[in-house]
Amino acid sequence: MLSGNTAVVTGASRGIGRAIALELASRGALVIINYNGSASRAEEVKAEIETNGGRAELFRCDVSDSGQCEAFIADVIEKHKKIDILVNNAGITRDGLLMKMTEEDFDRVLDVNLKGTFHTIRFVSRQMLRQKSGRIINMSSVVGIMGNAGQANYAASKAGVIGLTKAAARELASRGITVNAIAPGFIETEMTAVLSDRVKEATAAQIPMGTFGKPEDIAKTVAFLASEDARYITGQVIQVDGGMGI
């Protein structure tokens, strides 16, 4: 159980982030729901958590903006005195073939997916170092391991998250802080819902388990890494992909 823990989940208003927020709250954590954009969906996640007897708060922040991120983390620490769990889930795509990809699309994906992860780790780790404890869980992707045509920017950002995870794990381990990454495969979210049936069938055929995963599969892995059961695991990349990356 995670009772007494304060957990920050970025990009928590939908998809995998929503599932993570619900899972951590169900295990007793106070969940800080980070979002960027319309508040309505984040408010729905908060309401669902509270309906189920959990606790949650909303914080709007664009994690790619260093100033916003620093203020966001400072506000959480001022109010709750600590952050025990950080889940870097916020991410975007701007897909396109490499030869046609704009510099703007390349930069924006790296700014959110990779630099946003750097920002939150940078500011949260200061508090965790004082606490001499903490769990940091970063969302990579099977694409960051295998690559994928039409996603050079996304693959680069998620591969970068793996390198950042390993470097941070080495820096923070001596203070009782673990840093790990999860590399989801194809998961049933809004992002994959827009794919045609033909593409879905072709993709599923490449997965040894023959089907897409669910957001809850990722959320339960996050909950494990956030728990005391994972106290001796750091610097690792756990692929939750149905065997796709074998």
Each residue's pLDDT tens digit, 114-153: 999 999 999 999 999 999 999 999 999 999 999 999 999 9
| Global confidence as pTM | 0.96
pLDDT mean over 155-177: 98
pLDDT confidence of residue 223 = 98
Q: What is the 3-state secondary structure (H, E, C) of 69-119?
A: HHHHHHHHHHHHCCCCEEEECCCCCCCECHHHCCHHHHHHHHHHHHHHHHH
pLDDT of 170 strictly over 80: yes
Q: What is the mean pLDDT of the chain?
A: 96
Catalytic residue among 59, 154, 186, 212: 154
Is 154 noted as a catalytic residue in this protein? yes
pLDDT confidence of residue 198 = 83
| 57-87 burial code (b ≥16 CB/10 A, e <16) | bbbebbbbbeebbeebbeebbeeeeebbbbb
